[in-house]
Amino acid sequence: MSNLSTTESAAEAVDGVRELWRSDGLALRGKSLLSMRDLSRDQLMGLLDTARALQAASAARTPSLLFSYPAALALIFEKPSLRTRVTFDLGMQQLGGHTVVLGPAEIGLGTRETVPDTARNLERWVSAIMARVFSHHALVELRDNCGIPIINGLSDLEHPCQALADLYAIRQRFGGFDGLKIAYIGDGNNVLHSLMLGAAMCGMCIAAACPRGYEPHESIVQAAQELAARPEAVAITSAPLEAAAGAHVVYTDVWTSMGQEKEQLARLQAFRSFQVNARVMAAAHAEAVFMHCLPAHRSDEVTDDVMDGPQSIVFDQAEARLHAQKAVLAMLIGPNG
């Protein structure tokens, strides 16, 4: 990503983060992040600004340590992960905290013991929990049964940390959000739900093209329309080229999400004409970027020429996970860990 900073301004940026952190200036201390709806517009912008300051500090090799022992983050994974696993683990360490990674075989969330009991144990040892779960309800149960922040690292309903990183990457690329249109082409899934809410909060237009029967949840579309300046700013269609027309961002995700493997064949059929390829990119704005939360299934939802082409910013997005999540960790976990 661009915008390397001088050591001096990086130090000032870290001082600014430290002050915001000490004063709980975003009023996020102790809160959970299960959905984009857990954030106000100001909190969202404050997190993006914090992420920018933390990125500047990293680029200038200026330490941004906030936490001291015993601040620790538990990372619970019911599903595989590369980006979420690495960026939360490193992000917490870069802020001076510790991490404990718990895979599916280790804790058996809801099977070896109940979700509330897991929460009540963990809060005795750690400052916050990031969890990647099958059912969003497990996150709600964790949150409702302990006093520490719960962070959604992907559920069947939302992927808010991904959306924060996406919004950060978009703002870095375009310098702001005004007048931008996102075209999302593919499955009406967790990634789209959070992106749609976030885009609406930032004042962007979003048009999602999904096959019939694979649209986003109606309640989330409605919530996004309520958050948007104008309800028409959030539109659902079944025509990819219509969604892509004039878009500044063309976004896609896998057609079969983790946990839906049994539906894979039916989904391949249903999504065949929803591939992001050169034809779709040609319908977008001349300066459009291509985005994907990754992992990508090349030749399904995206072709190699788009994924590896000059418009692709998918690895900027991946990098942005680190900066955005450090901002989340900093603002949710306080000085007393």
Query: Are 208 and 220 spatial neighbours (Cβ–Cβ below 8 Å)?
Result: no
Query: Contact with ligand NVA (CB under 6 A): which of 43, 189, 275, 317?
Result: 189
Q: What is the DSSP letter of 153?
A: S
189, interface contact from ligand CP, ligand NVA, none, CB < 5-8 Å by kind:
ligand NVA
Active site residues: 132, 159, 162, 253, 293, 321
254, interface contact from ligand CP, ligand NVA, none, CB < 5-8 Å by kind:
ligand NVA
Minimum separation from the CB atom of position 82 to ligand CP (A): 4
Determine the Cα–Cα distance for residues 27 and 16; give it in Å rounded to an integer.
15
Q: What is the DSSP letter of 124?
A: T
Q: Which of 249, 318, 315, 259 has its CA nearest to residue 287?
A: 249
Binding region for ligand NVA (CB under 6 A) out of 8-16, 51-59, 254-262, 284-292: 254-262
Q: How many residues bind ligand CP (CB under 6 A)?
A: 9
82, interface contact from ligand CP, ligand NVA, none, CB < 5-8 Å by kind:
ligand CP
Residues 73-132 that bind ligand CP (CB under 6 A): 81-84
The token duo for 250 is 């063309």
Of 261 and 287, which CB lies nearer to ligand NVA in the complex structure? 261
The token duo for 135 is 């059912």
Say whether residue 191 binds ligand NVA (CB under 6 A): yes
Residues 289-308 that bind ligand NVA (CB under 6 A): 293
Binding region for ligand NVA (CB under 6 A) out of 138-146, 169-177, 183-191, 236-244: 183-191
Determine the Cα–Cα distance for residues 33 and 24; give it in Å rounded to an integer.
16
Of 295 and 309, which CB lies nearer to ligand CP in the complex structure? 295
Q: Which helix (H) or strand (E) holds 282?
A: helix 278-283
Q: How many residues bind ligand NVA (CB under 6 A)?
A: 9
Determine the Cα–Cα distance for residues 86 and 68; give it in Å rounded to an integer.
21
Q: Which of 33, 16, 2 has its CA nearest to residue 198?
A: 33
Question: What is the 3-class SS of 168-223, one letter each residue?
Answer: HHHHHHHCCCCCCEEEEECCCCHHHHHHHHHHHHHCCEEEEECCCCCCCCHHHHHH
Determine the Cα–Cα distance for residues 141 and 4; give it in Å rounded to an integer.
41
Determine the Cα–Cα distance for residues 28 and 21; give it in Å rounded to an integer.
9
Minimum separation from the CB atom of position 87 to ligand NVA (A): 12
Minimum separation from the CB atom of position 156 to ligand NVA (A): 7
Minimum separation from the CB atom of position 70 to ligand CP (A): 26
Minimum separation from the CB atom of position 120 to ligand NVA (A): 28
Query: Contact with ligand NVA (CB under 6 A): which of 49, 253, 301, 319?
Result: 253
Alpha helix segments (H runs only) across 203-309: 218-227, 240-244, 264-271, 278-283, 304-307
Determine the Cα–Cα distance for residues 142 and 231; give it in Å rounded to an integer.
33
One character per residue 257-296, x = contact with ligand CP (rule: CB under 6 A):
------------------------------------xxx-
Neighbour count for residue 228 (Cβ, 10 Å): 21
Of 254 and 322, which CB lies nearer to ligand NVA in the complex structure? 254
Determine the Cα–Cα distance for residues 163 and 169; give it in Å rounded to an integer.
10
Query: Contact with ligand CP (CB under 6 A): which of 154, 167, 227, 236?
Result: 154
Of 21 and 168, which CB lies nearer to ligand NVA in the complex structure? 168
Handedness of CA 150, 152, 157, 162 (dihedral sign): positive
Minimum separation from the CB atom of position 159 to ligand NVA (A): 6
| Contact positions vs ligand CP (CB under 6 A) | 81-84, 154, 162, 293-295
| Contact positions vs ligand NVA (CB under 6 A) | 154, 189-191, 253-254, 257-258, 293
